[in-house]
């Protein structure tokens, strides 16, 4: 059974929410749907497992300093199943379109 990952909001305005996520081995974000477009900036490298709404799991290698963006509506769970290192990333949600 996976435990909840650690998250904390670093800043929030009417336009943007910035959240730091820390996933130790054996933790996950929990299944969720992104209500806003968002970008992710990995702070550390590491391997995460992303499970989509259909239950399809995909390994994803986080590369420190290499960001990516996704549109609103993405539904998934992000987990650190087998990486012994803590995987850290910052998520920036665009709260206004």
Task: Read off the pLDDT band of 7 (50, 70, 90).
Answer: very high
Nearest to 6 by CA among 16, 20, 17, 18: 20
Question: What tens digit of pLDDT does each residue of 13-68 get?
Answer: 999 999 999 999 999 999 999 999 999 999 999 999 999 999 999 999 999 999 99
Q: Residue 96: its pLDDT value, please?
A: 84
The encoded tokens of residue 97 equal 């379109």
Neighbours of 5 (CB within 10 A): 20
Smallest CA-to-CA distance from 65 within 88, 96, 44, 86 is with 44
Mean pLDDT of 2-11: 98
Contact (Cβ atoms closer than 8 angstroms) between residue 89 and residue 21: yes
Rounded CA-CA distance 39/71 in Å is 9
Helix (H) or strand (E) holding 79: strand 75-80
Domain 3-94, what fold?
Jelly Rolls (2.60.120)
pLDDT tens column, 47-59: 999 999 999 999 9
């Amino acid at each position: 059974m996976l435990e909840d990952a650690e998250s904390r909001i670093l800043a929030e305005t009417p336009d943007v929410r910035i959240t730091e996520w820390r996933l130790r081995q054996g933790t996950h974000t929990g299944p969720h749907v992104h209500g806003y477009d968002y970008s992710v900036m990995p702070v550390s490298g590491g391997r995460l497992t992303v499970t989509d709404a259909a239950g399809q799991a995909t390994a994803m290698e986080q590369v420190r300093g290499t960001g990516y963006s996704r549109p609103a509506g993405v539904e998934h769970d992000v987990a650190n199943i087998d990486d012994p290192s803590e995987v850290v990333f910052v998520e920036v949600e665009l709260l206004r379109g």
